Amino acid sequence: MNADVRAVSAAGRSARRKSRPISVTTPRKSVLLTLVMGLMLFYTLTPVAWLLINSTKTQNSLSSSFGLWFSGPFSFFHNIAATFSYGNGEFLRWALNTVLYVVLGGGGATILATLGGYGLAHFTFPGKRAVMAIIIGAIAIPGTALAVPAYLMFSKFGLTNTPWSVVIPSLISPIGLYLIWVYATEAIPSGLLEAARLDGASELRIFLSIGFRLIVPGFVTVLLLTFVATWNNYFLPLIMLSTPNWFPLTVGLSNWSNQAPSAGGQLIDNLVITGSLLAITPTVIVFLLMQRYWKAGITAGSIKE
């Protein structure tokens, strides 16, 4: 009888323990970190808000109003139309030039970085360690330091003031090559590639069917980096190009901003601001559309089972 009572009592205690709600540890909150993140958010969004607000103003309203508040007639759509029509449609030509440089330069850099990174990760060849050392060293060299030597070299071949003087240097992305190399090393099991080779698959088919599919997040991450770098490229085309017909948006808008009445022009700050807002819009849209791949590319390999 006592054994039965003890068994029933033990079962009751076990049932009560199971019925208790599982305590979930709430994340710790830090007032200091919250303030720091708030300051960073304010620092990041204030220039965008300034562009958005001032793109709604006329030229006269810009000089007589507070920059972070609306004033005067709402001229946003008028400014957009004037931006595209000013200078015989220069802004649209510069936008198309920028797209050309991004597709050929940024897209080509991403493809080359993907092929090179995959090869470094899963192939062995003489001088591999030297190549890795050169890539890591090239990451530390800023692109502006190579702009003048690149100009001297391209001028000897007669390629300055042509699209190739911007596209060809943009094809080299050491940081993209390094990221794909590291990502492919972790994301693609070597045993999977060996199994495909034993089945008689060619290296090209292995890369397209297996390797590339496994490194898509890394590919998109590098694509975003090269897209932003090429879209915002300023110093290289400033040195290489002298004809406005081949200017990208960065150099073209800077050229507009330098206009002054003393040089026989008119103040067009409202058009420069509106054009700058239009110029950053594609990068924002691309990041919003591809952020899930970008997040996956950054966190890949951070947790091992």
Phi, psi of 67 (to 5 degrees): -65, -25
pLDDT per residue over 126-176, tens digit each? 988 899 899 989 988 888 888 889 999 999 999 999 999 999 999 999 999
Residues 20 and 165: their CA atoms lie apart, in Å, by 70
pLDDT per residue over 90-133, tens digit each? 999 999 999 999 999 999 999 999 999 999 999 988 988 899 89
Mean pLDDT over residues 36-60, rounded? 92
Residues 250 and 148: their CA atoms lie apart, in Å, by 19
Domain residues for the domain of 268 are 79-299
According to the per-residue pLDDT averaged within each range, which of 14-28, 55-69, 220-234 is highest? 220-234
pLDDT at 123: 92
* Structure confidence at residue 303 as a pLDDT band (50, 70, 90): very low
Within-domain flag for 36? no
More confident call, 293 vs 13: 293
* Structure confidence at residue 287 as a pLDDT band (50, 70, 90): confident
- What single-letter amino acid sits at 118? Y
Within-domain flag for 181? yes
pTM of the model: 0.83
More confident call, 29 vs 294: 29
Residues 262 and 285: their CA atoms lie apart, in Å, by 38
pLDDT at 302: 44
Residue 81 has pLDDT above 50, yes or no: yes
Residues 48 and 277: their CA atoms lie apart, in Å, by 8
DSSP 26: P
pLDDT per residue over 194-233, tens digit each? 999 999 999 999 999 999 999 998 999 899 999 999 999 9
Within-domain flag for 85? yes
pLDDT at 5: 47
Within-domain flag for 160? yes
Kindly report the CATH number assigned to the domain that includes residue 241: 1.10.3720.10
Within-domain flag for 56? no
- What single-letter amino acid sits at 195? A
pLDDT per residue over 231-266, tens digit each? 999 999 999 999 999 999 999 999 998 875 544 556
* Structure confidence at residue 301 as a pLDDT band (50, 70, 90): very low
Mean pLDDT over residues 267-272, rounded? 86
Helix axis angle for 216-231 and 107-122, nearest 10°, is 140
Do the beta carbons of residue 180 and residue 116 sit within 8 Å? yes
Within-domain flag for 74? no
Residue 305 has pLDDT above 90, yes or no: no
Within-domain flag for 72? no
| The total number of structural domains that make up the chain | 1
Task: Tally the C-alpha atoms within 13 A of residue 153's C-alpha that lie toward its C-beta.
Answer: 10
Residue 12 has pLDDT above 80, yes or no: no
Helix axis angle for 269-299 and 216-231, nearest 10°, is 160
pLDDT at 174: 93
Residue 23 has pLDDT above 70, yes or no: no
Do the beta carbons of residue 195 and residue 97 sit within 8 Å? no
Within-domain flag for 49? no
What's the length of the chain?
305
